A and B are shown apart, each in its own frame.
Chain A
Amino acid sequence: MTITRFDDPAAAKFREDVSTWVHEALPTKWRTDRAALTPDEVQQAQREWDAALHEGGYAGLAWPAEYGGRGFGPIEELIYYEESSRANAPDGFGRIGRVLAGPTIIVAGTEAQKVKYLPRILDASEIWCQGFSEPGAGSDLASVRTTARKVDGGYLVNGQKTWTSFAQYAKRCLMLARSSTELGRHHNLSFLLLDMEQDGVDVRPIRQISGEEEFSEVFFTDVFVADEDLVGPEHEGWGIAMTVLSNERGTTEAATRLVEATAQIDLLNRCCARHEGLDAPRLRDRCELLRWQILRTTEEKAAELDWFTAGSILKVQWSELIQDSTRLGVDSGCPEHRDYWRHHYLASKAMSIYSGTNEIQRNIITDRVLKVSR
């Protein structure tokens, strides 16, 4: 049975187990020298963490046991993220698979898809990316123009995706493509699981203002996807995409961001300590508020109350908190961490854009939470 309240004694026991495990499993370099790691070393630590998660049984906490998970609910999942946040654990490299691809396949995939894909998501031996955004379809996602043309035994995919995280490392892609030229909006898209390691897939990393290449453009030329890799009914991929986005904007995603924000603010407090007039404690309070916002939303989710729309608040909250933290980091002028803060400040500019821009989140709140028609 899963836990439904944080004050359940079973929750305290689980927290203790997680905390012990996290402290033992944390990659040494990450624990001792995080701020000084090169991008390659960060990636190495992330991959080590993926392996540790799988080995320790923490990769699929909320996945059903029959698919290799632990069958826990949102409370246990959050406790894990809280404890890893306290220990400043890294974010794993297989995140898109664990947080987006896996849960989507569990909910909407066929048995064959589950057998084929889920084990390799759990052990992170296959990295996933998400092929949703296009140059002409950002906030207006339903207008994607990448096509999936029906051929014998499957589909041929042609077009361009962009802002694709992990594309250069990914074996698989969650693909949203237009499968009908006749059917209307929201009923003309299909959801496909595409193999990235085949001819016709051209990944071109995009250099961002931070200097990193976290996202890529991906070009698809006659790329084959077999019929058995269609998720849900043909042309009804929009509904599946919404499932993915609700996970992306949900408590799990927010909890991984809490890990990041907590670590940034810990460092920031040290950098600001010698600098009067900089308000790091207020950011600490906002970080605590984010933690409680996640906690509250998670208990609402566990109690099966309406929590989905609360995801929009969380998205706005974590992205703006991290942006404000890194901005203050730059302002602190800390000589030891000057490069670190410059880098993270520039990198954080993407946060109010991806996962649905903060303006789109505000539209969702007015349209769907406050129900103010246009």
Chain B
Amino acid sequence: MSTIVQEIGTMAASSVREILDSGRGSPAEPNAHLWSILSDGGWGSISSDPENKVELRDILEVARVSGRFPYSTPIVSTLLAGRWFKLDEGQLESGIVLALRRGAQVVAPYYSEGVIVVDGNGGIIASSPTAVEAFSLVSPIALLPVGTMALSDEYLSELRAAFLAVAVGCADAVLDASIAWSTTREQFGQPIKGFQAVRHHLANAHIAREQAWTAAIAAAHEPERSAAWARQGFALARTSIELGIQVHGGVGFTWEVGLHHYLNQIIELRSVLGEDQ
């Protein structure tokens, strides 16, 4: 595997981005409509067909794009499950979410009505979640029966890389918003983008998210070090987002502007990976 994405990855990421972008203005929550467009377009099942030669690196490209949007679909876990397990077309179309160990609990992030929950072997879990809690204020997280077999280390390493790529997408969204804000917001009679202190925050946010992206790519190449990469990468993605919030001044910490969706999402992603322990 190269550090450079293949054509299939670029193509998938660009289509997924276009579809998710069509939902702009939708509430920050699970979006069944967008998932049905993605799924009808076949984007959820590209990794299960060996002919497509989809590599983990390509899935990272899609994961990064999905992180840009503040509403959730099961696209990332479905692509991973399609790569790992024997699942049929119909199952993949419903969307797959994965059973993960979070402390003493077994949880399934990106859960919503109608998706299929699979255990650590790719077996379908028929029982309903014992509870559903808010996840990242954007997507629910299902609590599964305690005895459910969670994803094994073998798969967890790939999941770390993919979730880290989602976190980089979150940082992308906040940096774009910060650049736009610094261009329109005026103080002292000029846009704040003219002040070097602000410009260097933007530069540092870029450096941190690029390094986080490098960590995601490295995690995909080095499964045995994926936990260390995730630890480092999530910290960098968070730094990038924190800088963006600072650039936004007072509105950065208002609920309405919504930067918290991104910050919360990466905090939750770390937690379901166990990286915050």
Which residues of A are in contact with B by a Cβ distance under 8 Å?
Answer: 5-7, 285-286, 288-289, 292-293, 295-296, 299-300, 303, 305, 310, 313, 316-317, 359, 361-363, 365-366, 369-370, 372-374
Contact = CB atoms under 8 A, between A and B. Distances in A.
Given A6-B2, A6-B3, A366-B200, A289 B179 contact: no
Which of B3, B196, B203 has the most chain A CB atoms closer than 10 A to its own CB?
A: B203
A176 to B, nearest CB: 26
Contacts of A370: 175, 179, 202-203, 206
Contact of B206 (A288, A303, A317, A369): A369
A359 B202 CA distance: 12
Contacts of A286: 232
A372 B199 contact: yes
Chain A residues touching B, majority SS: helix
A296 B214 CA distance: 7
Contact of B1 (A7, A362, A374): A7
A370 B193 CA distance: 12
Contact of A289 (B193, B196, B215): B215
Nearest to B180: A372
Contacts of A359: 200
A295 to B, nearest CB: 6
B4 interface: yes
B193 A362 contact: no
Contact of A296 (B182, B194, B217): B217
Interface string B177-206: 001001100000000011010011011101
Nearest to A316: B207
Nearest to A359: B200
A15 to B, nearest CB: 15
A255 to B, nearest CB: 15
B4 A303 contact: yes
B137 interface: no
Given A296-B217, A374-B193, A365 B207 contact: yes
B151 to A, nearest CB: 24
Contact of B3 (A295, A310, A317, A361): A295
B217 A292 contact: yes
B2 A7 contact: yes
Interface in B25-50: none
A293 B209 CA distance: 12
A258 to B, nearest CB: 14
B217 A313 contact: no
Which of A7, A316, A317, A370 has the most chain B CB atoms closer than 10 A to its own CB?
A: A370
Nearest to B221: A292
Given A362-B203, A372-B183, A299 B2 contact: yes
Contacts of A7: 1-2
A293 B1 contact: no
Given A295-B3, A313-B207, 20 more contacts: A5-B2, A288-B218, A289-B218, A292-B214, A292-B218, A293-B211, A296-B214, A300-B4, A313-B206, A316-B207, A362-B199, A362-B204, A366-B200, A370-B179, A370-B206, A372-B182, A372-B183, A372-B199, A373-B193, A374-B193
A295 B213 CA distance: 13
Which of B183, B204, B210, B232 has the most chain A CB atoms closer than 10 A to its own CB?
A: B210
Interface in B207-244: 207, 210-211, 214-215, 217-218, 225, 228, 231-232
A305 B193 CA distance: 28
19 contacts: A6-B3, A7-B2, A285-B228, A285-B231, A286-B232, A288-B218, A288-B228, A289-B214, A299-B3, A303-B4, A313-B207, A362-B200, A362-B203, A363-B196, A363-B199, A363-B203, A366-B199, A372-B193, A372-B202
